[in-house]
Amino acid sequence: MAEKRTDPMAYQPGMAMITSDIRDKVLINVDNYDYSKVSARDVEEALKKDHLSMEDYGALLSPAATPYLEIMAKKAIIETRRHFGNSISLFTPLYIANYCENNCVYCGFNCKNKIRRGKLSRAEMESELEAIAKTGLTEILILTGESRHHSGVEYIGAAVKLAAEYFATVGIEIYPLNADEYAYLKKCGADFVSVYQETYNLDKYQQVHLSGPKRVFPYRFDSQERALMGGMRGVSFGALLGLDDFRKDAFATGLHAFFIQQKYPQAEIGFSTPRLRPFINNADNNPNDVHEKQLLQVMLAYRLLMPFAGITISTRERAGFRDHVIGMVATKISAGVRVGVGGHEQEEKGDEQFEISDPRSVTEVHEMIINRGLQPVYRDYIRV
């Protein structure tokens, strides 16, 4: 018997509502975005500008822009160098727990999946953090699945406090919280929050987030704003490209970040570009498949929309892709990555969320950055 599905617009108990018009502004614009109407001329006009309008940004994400990828890249590299010089920041994620209450059809941590679950004890966290700190990294991203029961805010807070002893920068990529909870984690030492909307298409969103707190679309949408209200310094955005129409989702992601930056001009803005990989050699290639070309197009469009935003390149991508996008469009790269629970010092306590394509160590990534004429940056933050 099928589970009864809840209304994805209805808040669940404990989820605080904030007043904001950003969601409406993003969704209306996405509704009106029709990339099939974009002409080569529109793309050329957009490429002439220093500051993109929403229409220009939409043009750069359209199929009409595909032949202009090289020109976009040339423009992007100038912007990236202007804002970041040749600096490339290094960090690594640490999964502290993989318990999850969400039923998201595409995710390895799905609560229905029979995977090995686990969470790190304080001692285990400490030895993991110590092992990571020994690699020279000073920035860490703490991750969990979504389970207030197994990995509650206090548990995450304890991890953040510990991490702040070893690392200059602590980011969190956890389930959405209320503003006061973000304020608590800020006090514990976290300064950056990543929340990915996955898709901005509500219909698709509810088809793939079947149950659990993540099913609530607007609560997730407002996460970055609540994080900033809680005093966080920076927020990251991302859609899981390929889950739905990636062009529309990338358009929405850019606008989401754009409106947040307008309302909170002090916020540091970041983008990530996770994608669902298309099957290689699949004869029925879907026009919405996100191959490397499309992935790069999205990254370049983000860069040209917000030249000052950090863009992270994930280990989901192969080394050859990652090595070429840093400096051109990406400004931040992970290294020495484990995506199971723990696994840096001790054996993994829980299974992995996804497979990585670039297992290189910090030293290897460091050398690659140097060989490409770029400057690895370990530290770029002071907690004050």
Partner 1 sequence: MTDQLVIGGHPFNSRFILGSGKFSLEIVKAVVENGGAEIVTLALRRANLGGEENILDYIPSNIRLLPNTSGARTAEEAVKIARLAREINCGNFIKVEVIRDSKYLFPDNYETIKATEILAKDGFVVMPYMYPDLNVARDLVNAGAAAVMPLAAPIGSNKGLSTRDFIEILVNEIAVPIIVDAGIGRPSQACEAMEMGVDAVMCNTAVATAKNIPLMAKAFGQAIESGRNAYLAGLGRVLTEAEASSPLTGFLED
Residue numbers at the binding site for partner 1 (CB under 8 A): 78, 81-87, 136, 138, 168, 233, 261, 265-269, 306, 308, 366, 370, 373-382, 384
Nearest approach in angstroms of CB 382 to partner 1 is: 5
Q: How many residues does the chain have?
A: 384
For the record, the structure tokens of 371 come out as 């060989």
Q: Which is nearer to partner 1, 87 or 211 (CB)?
A: 87
Nearby residues of 322 by Cβ (< 8 Å), 6 or more positions away: 313, 315, 330, 333, 358
Q: Which is nearer to partner 1, 306 or 337 (CB)?
A: 306
CA–CA dist 236, 87 (Å, integer) = 19
Q: Which is nearer to partner 1, 163 or 174 (CB)?
A: 163
Q: Which is nearer to partner 1, 265 or 287 (CB)?
A: 265
Q: Which is nearer to partner 1, 261 or 346 (CB)?
A: 261
Contact 69, 324 (CB under 8 A): no
Q: Quick one: 3 exposed, middle or buried, by C-beta within 10 A (0-12, 13-18, 19+)?
A: exposed
Q: Which is nearer to partner 1, 124 or 130 (CB)?
A: 130
Q: Going by DSSP bridges, is the β-strand pair 375-377/87-95 parallel, antiparallel, or unpaired?
A: parallel
Nearest approach in angstroms of CB 152 to partner 1 is: 30
Nearest approach in angstroms of CB 289 to partner 1 is: 33
Residue owning tokens 């990989």:
277
Question: Rounded to a whole number, what is the distance in angstroms from the first to the last CA of the chain?
Answer: 54
Is residue 218 helix, strand or coil? helix
Nearest approach in angstroms of CB 252 to partner 1 is: 20
Nearest approach in angstroms of CB 137 to partner 1 is: 8
Nearest approach in angstroms of CB 128 to partner 1 is: 19
Q: Which is nearer to partner 1, 139 or 317 (CB)?
A: 139
| DSSP 8-state assignment for residue 89 | E
Residue owning tokens 């609540």:
226
What's the alpha-carbon Rg for the chain, to the nearest Å? 20
Q: Quick one: 88 exposed, middle or buried, by C-beta within 10 A (0-12, 13-18, 19+)?
A: buried
Residue 232 has a CB neighbour count (10 Å cut-off) of: 24
Q: Which is nearer to partner 1, 8 or 327 (CB)?
A: 327
Nearest approach in angstroms of CB 310 to partner 1 is: 10
CA–CA dist 235, 357 (Å, integer) = 25
CA–CA dist 258, 97 (Å, integer) = 32
Nearby residues of 265 by Cβ (< 8 Å), 6 or more positions away: none
Nearest approach in angstroms of CB 339 to partner 1 is: 24
